[in-house]
Structure 1
Amino acid sequence: MSRRLLAAVVALVLGAAAPAGAQLPIPEVTRGSAPVYVGAAVEPRPFDGAFAVPRHPHMAPNGRSNLHEDAFQTDTVAPGRVAPLGDGTRRTASRLFVQECASITFDSRGQAVTVCVGLAQPTLRVLDPVTLEERAALDLPPRNPLAGTGNPLTSFGGGGYFFLDDRDRAVIPTADRHVRVVQVGPEPSLRQVADVALTSAVADGDSVISALPDWSGRIWFATSRGVVGTVDLASGTVRATPTGEGIGNSFAVDRDGSVSLVTDAALYRFEAGDDGVPRAVWRLAYDDVGVVKPGQTQAGSGTTPTLMGEDLVAFTDNADPMHVVVAQRGREADGERVVCRQPVFRPGASATDQSLIVAGRTIVVENNHGYQLASSLAGGSSAAPGLARVDLDEDGRGCRVVWTSEERAPSVVPKLSLETGLVYTYTKDQGSDAWYLTALDVRDGSTRWKALGGASLGFNNNYAPITVAPDGAILLGVLGGVVRFADARPPHLAPRPAPSRGSAQRAPLLSARCLPRGRVRLAVRSPGVRRATFTAGRRTRTVRARPYAVTLPRAARVAVRVLRRSGAVRRASRRLRC
């Protein structure tokens, strides 16, 4: 590519403005010999054993609410939702906005709702989810180029993280240190309905990275300079606690009201006091080489922490090599708080700036070491390989690497479809300027197929996530705007066979045996149990070790709630006839 042509592409994607009202595709320079498609279609192979993440009562349904799929930040696409299977998968549309439409949500009518962020002014947009045509737009406050990381291409403040609530309202932390609430209407339309200033707690030059609600509806926020706060949208009351440690990513919210958050130095559990002030319940420091590795946006963990099942949280440290770390997230720890610390990728070439995928006791981590914006221009250079699957041991103590892929995913947030059994990522090979939607088999890490995104700077996703749309297509924010991938034929789901009645009778989860003197013996007959909570009438008892059995006063109805080591929860109940 000539220097003059290279300069023209940079100007087009990073600085030029699309004509008013135009609906233009993202321009390509040339793809050369890069194939449009590699691989073959696959049959869906559901990945079972994942924890059923509850829907947050104050957010849109899981998969529609925020860039990490759910409030637990699992980056898993729930069972029953379709995703591409490689059946003629191709880029079906692209739309040029000269802004990166990274975080994409979907309202109750299926419209794509996104905040597109460029060098200057972010824009809230409503897009047709198939054609990507703009249906409505609202300009947001302009960004301060010196706030956050000091680099507008690596700072996620100003709307990069936002969420869609349960009433089709976009809740956006904006660049002027406010939280704005915008109603998405059916026309479609965008109308601001609330605006709360955070300036009393967030200093000039700081940047609000993310905002999410806890289960009570209180909004939490975090800033690049380490302020953790809460805001009551109704009263405008803001409460905040400084950590003194930088924050580069979002956080996870649990059903018990707690927030899991990682700074450049430590993992925290925060809770709000009666006065709304965030308080650190515990702090877990992690190994850190203390530098911003190539491919990271800050000196520390690059992950938004991910909740695993009922009682664990996963993230990465910033050691060399980097480790996947799993810790107990409760107020009190049963023994050592850290239950797993597994090194991944090669020394001197391991870093991530993406959240982990978590499905049950399976974790998928991506390597971004070496990614820089210029690497998408420098004659086909890329980042270090690859992706890795790490599984927590069945006893919940320790973990191991199951596979490592050599695919190079410079900076995308990958997703795992529990229905197809595929990990979706966005790759760029050494020696090529072509970007590909790439599907890996979660069981063995093998590459099943690739579909070309494009071959220019405009198709660089620059930290944006894979987003699986309600119709099974994939939308992806890129520097030029947004692209859409879909199968040639819409994917369909084969009905799952129900367990046979006979097998259920042979292996009941709950065993109950009547004893003399009005007592009952309850037991769990299942492998891989971490904790069992038995109920007989009004009596409840929790057992955390073998044998998972109790003796309780006899009642007409008995039940058990089982937490597996994988993080999955099962329940069973029965009537007694003694």
Structure 2
Amino acid sequence: MVRRSAVAIALLALVAGVSPFAAAGSAAGTAMPPNPYAGPDGTWNMHGDAGASDTTPFAGPGARPSPAQPVTLPAVCPTILSGADGMVQALCTEYVDRAPSLYLLDPTTLLPVARRHLSAGSLLGGVYAYIDDESRLVTVDGSGSLLWLAHSRSLLGWSIDVEREVPIPLPDGDAVTTVGPGYDANVWFATAQGRAGYATPEGDVVTTSLGAGEEKVANSISSAPSGVAVTTDHATYLLRADGDADEVETVWRQAYDRGVARKPGQLSHGSGSTPTFFGERTGADLVVITDNASPRENLLVYRARDGREVCRLPILTDDSSGTENSPVAWGDSVYIASTYGYPYPAQATEDAGVSVPAEADFVGGMERIDVDEQNGTCESVWRNEVPSAAVPRLSRGENVLYTVTRRGIAPTWRVARIDPADGELLSETFLGLGPLANTLQMVGTILPDGTLLQGTLSGLVAVRR
């Protein structure tokens, strides 16, 4: 699916998950080993770490932050990252040509100091990128090439340059939608038309088709020492590189119920999840997704090593059971936010098939599910009615879930803090008013100093302590 999301269209070095701002109430759990080919956990990719846990070791801005600071750009900014050097890198989709641009922002003022415009291709190619261990942004452009974008400063100021480029040969009509680093030193990718593969450090490229060419990839990928997880619109896979045969090895495949059609508030006919690694022992014992079953979607948990289903559980309520967001997972707990009925721009889903029903009210709601791998059970711990308008982020240093709420006709957007123990709404802080402040279910990034950077329809907003 080359045109998919409202996000795209409208569009430190802590290595073990320990925060300098950690409090006595820090979330208990195990972080899997950091990916040595990526930047610092918490800020190097959209979902925080290699396993897409949507957690961060850093404490956020807290209950009484400074007033929100808008950073207006002529673009939608779904991907706001930071590497080991502390510079903020925002990959944004421009209004004029819907092509991605990388903005380099001063971490103190948050003003742009450099910009690199890229050629338009798959719109998701301008969303799912990451920062590597040398603070370079790794992404893909309209030519179909992987790019390593490095920034530097001279007497003339800051600049962004293409330091490395590796072409990805694909058939006409296909495009890379997501890239990520494997623990095997390869750069992995998936494509709109259901291909997956990797580029080696030497520049060799290996690809395979998933599901006999009948599947599509509309979400990000994740990785762990055991392999790379990819969820298509039909199934979830664990893949590895077979270096001896120069092939992509499918370790396991698990099909899921993709439903009869796309649901309102979802952007593809299938799972809205990036597959997420989690678990109490190693931080990567299990993989979790949500399916697209009707009337209620299921949380599906698999054993990472062999794909065996551990448990499944219907999620949310009859009026809210649908999500386009990646699960948040830490320890033995998974947190799901409903996007059912979320009002994305109409043109955002023109290639995703019809929605059934055609429309629905956005009522929101979140749920926590605890997983007992030994007994093979999933148990709902709480549900709330928080109308989450962003991918939630669990601050492990603060033991608080951060998201953005959408309320009222105008509407009004507020940063929300939620207690992961019982789902209680702890605080809300004004973020913005009206359609230009729309957070479009994008994820916020928390920097080591506690600053929350949240993408919006008109650039981004910073919320500081």
Q: Which bin holds the TM-score, normalised by the shorter protein?
A: 0.7 to 0.9
Q: Residues 272 and 294 of structure 1: is their aligned pair in 2 closer, same or farther, counting only changes over 3 Å? A: same
Of the two structures, which has the highest relative contact order with CA contacts closer than 8 Å and spacing of 6 or more? 2
SS of residue paired to 2:436: helix
CA distance in 2, matches of 1:465, 1:127: 18
Query: In the alignment, residue 314 of structure 1 is paired with which amino acid?
Result: V
Contact 1:383 1:409 in 2 (8 A): no
- Asked whether 1:283 is paired with 2:283, we answer no
Give ranges in structure 1 of 5+ residues lacking alignment. 1-12, 16-42, 148-154, 376-380, 488-578
Which residue number in structure 2 is paired with residue 37 of structure 1?
Answer: none
- Asked whether 1:326 is paired with 2:304, we answer no
CA distance in 1, matches of 2:127, 2:242: 28
Which residue number in structure 1 is paired with residue 182 of structure 2?
Answer: 214
Q: Residues 430 and 87 of structure 1: is their aligned pair in 2 closer, same or farther, counting only changes over 3 Å? A: closer
Q: Residues 338 and 123 of structure 1: is their aligned pair in 2 closer, same or farther, counting only changes over 3 Å? A: same
Q: For each residue in 1:143-188, what CA deviation from the matched residue of structure 2 results, as whole angstroms up to 9, or x when unmatched?
A: 4xxx5xxxxxxx5x22201111001111102233211111122453
CA distance in 2, matches of 1:191, 1:46: 43
Q: How does 1:531-550 map to 2 (within 5 A)?
A: none
Q: How does 1:301-312 map to 2 (within 5 A)?
A: 301-308=271-278, 309-312=283-286
Which residue number in structure 2 is paired with residue 540 of structure 1?
Answer: none
Aligned residues: 421
**Displacement of 1:421 after TM fit?**
1.5
**Corresponding residue to 2:46 among 67, 71, 77:** 67
Contact 2:10 2:345 in 1 (8 A): no
**Displacement of 1:133 after TM fit?**
0.4
Query: In the alignment, residue 235 of structure 1 is paired with which amino acid?
Result: G
Q: How does 1:383-462 map to 2 (within 5 A)?
A: 383-393=362-372, 395-410=374-389, 412-462=390-440
Aligned sequence identity (%): 29
Give ranges in structure 2 of 5+ residues lacking alignment. 1-8, 12-21, 347-359
Q: How does 1:355-374 map to 2 (within 5 A)?
A: 355-374=326-345
**Displacement of 1:349 after TM fit?**
3.0
**Corresponding residue to 1:239 among 198, 207, 216:** 207
**Displacement of 1:368 after TM fit?**
0.1
Q: For each residue in 1:521-566, what CA deviation from the matched residue of structure 2 results, as whole angstroms up to 9, or x when unmatched?
A: xxxxxxxxxxxxxxxxxxxxxxxxxxxxxxxxxxxxxxxxxxxxxx
Query: In the alignment, residue 423 of structure 1 is paired with which amino acid?
Result: L
CA distance in 1, matches of 2:453, 2:108: 9
Query: In the alignment, residue 269 of structure 1 is paired with which amino acid?
Result: L
Which residue number in structure 2 is paired with residue 340 of structure 1?
Answer: 311
CA distance in 2, matches of 1:194, 1:424: 36
CA distance in 2, matches of 1:204, 1:459: 37
SS of residue paired to 2:126: coil
Query: In the alignment, residue 69 of structure 1 is paired with which amino acid?
Result: G
**Displacement of 1:203 after TM fit?**
2.4
CA distance in 1, matches of 2:375, 2:43: 31
CA distance in 2, matches of 1:306, 1:276: 26
TM-score, length of structure 2 as denominator length: 0.86
**Corresponding residue to 2:160 among 159, 178, 190:** 190
CA distance in 2, matches of 1:362, 1:242: 30
Which residue number in structure 2 is paired with residue 165 of structure 1?
Answer: 132
Which residue number in structure 2 is paired with residue 100 of structure 1?
Answer: 76
SS of residue paired to 1:373: coil
Contact 1:211 1:219 in 2 (8 A): yes
Root-mean-square deviation over aligned CA pairs: 2.2
CA distance in 2, matches of 1:74, 1:406: 22
Report the structure number with the largest CA radius of gyration: 1
Q: Residues 90 and 317 of structure 1: is their aligned pair in 2 closer, same or farther, counting only changes over 3 Å? A: same
Q: For each residue in 1:67-115, what CA deviation from the matched residue of structure 2 results, as whole angstroms up to 9, or x when unmatched?
A: 111101111112xx22122124531x21221211211111222110121
Contact 1:468 1:475 in 2 (8 A): yes
Query: In the alignment, residue 455 of structure 1 is paired with which amino acid?
Result: L
SS of residue paired to 1:438: strand
Contact 1:116 1:122 in 2 (8 A): yes
Which residue number in structure 1 is paired with residue 287 of structure 2?
Answer: 313
- Asked whether 1:180 is paired with 2:183, we answer no
Contact 1:239 1:276 in 2 (8 A): no
Query: In the alignment, residue 328 of structure 1 is paired with which amino acid?
Result: R
Contact 1:382 1:408 in 2 (8 A): no
**Corresponding residue to 2:63 among 86, 92, 106:** 86
Contact 1:356 1:363 in 2 (8 A): yes
CA distance in 1, matches of 2:396, 2:153: 31
Deviating beyond 6 angstroms after TM superposition, the runs of 4 or more aligned structure 1 residues are: none
Contact 1:111 1:129 in 2 (8 A): yes
Query: In the alignment, residue 302 of structure 1 is paired with which amino acid?
Result: G
Query: In the alignment, residue 230 of structure 2 is paired with which amino acid?
Result: L
Q: For each residue in 1:367-420, what CA deviation from the matched residue of structure 2 results, as whole angstroms up to 9, or x when unmatched?
A: 000012259xxxxx972221111111373510111111101113x211001121
SS of residue paired to 2:442: coil
TM-score, length of structure 1 as denominator length: 0.69
SS of residue paired to 1:282: strand
CA distance in 1, matches of 2:66, 2:255: 44
Query: In the alignment, residue 353 of structure 1 is paired with which amino acid?
Result: E
CA distance in 2, matches of 1:394, 1:205: 41
**Corresponding residue to 1:262 among 231, 251, 254:** 231
Which residue number in structure 1 is paired with residue 355 of structure 2?
Answer: none
**Displacement of 1:344 after TM fit?**
1.2
Q: For each residue in 1:264-289, what CA deviation from the matched residue of structure 2 results, as whole angstroms up to 9, or x when unmatched?
A: 11111111212332122221111221
CA distance in 1, matches of 2:253, 2:373: 26
SS of residue paired to 1:294: coil
Q: For each residue in 1:463-487, what CA deviation from the matched residue of structure 2 results, as whole angstroms up to 9, or x when unmatched?
A: 3211101210100111100110122
SS of residue paired to 1:158: helix
CA distance in 1, matches of 2:439, 2:194: 26
Q: Residues 89 and 407 of structure 1: is their aligned pair in 2 closer, same or farther, counting only changes over 3 Å? A: farther
Q: How does 1:488-499 map to 2 (within 5 A)?
A: none
Contact 2:40 2:83 in 1 (8 A): no
Q: Which moved more, 1:167-176 or 1:475-484?
A: 167-176
Q: For each residue in 1:407-466, what CA deviation from the matched residue of structure 2 results, as whole angstroms up to 9, or x when unmatched?
A: 1113x2110011211100111124441111111111110111111111122111223211
**Corresponding residue to 1:248 among 218, 241, 249:** 218
Contact 1:241 1:278 in 2 (8 A): no
CA distance in 1, matches of 2:304, 2:415: 34
Query: In the alignment, residue 184 of structure 2 is paired with which amino acid?
Result: S
CA distance in 2, matches of 1:328, 1:482: 37
Query: In the alignment, residue 227 of structure 1 is paired with which amino acid?
Result: R
SS of residue paired to 1:95: strand
CA distance in 1, matches of 2:408, 2:375: 38
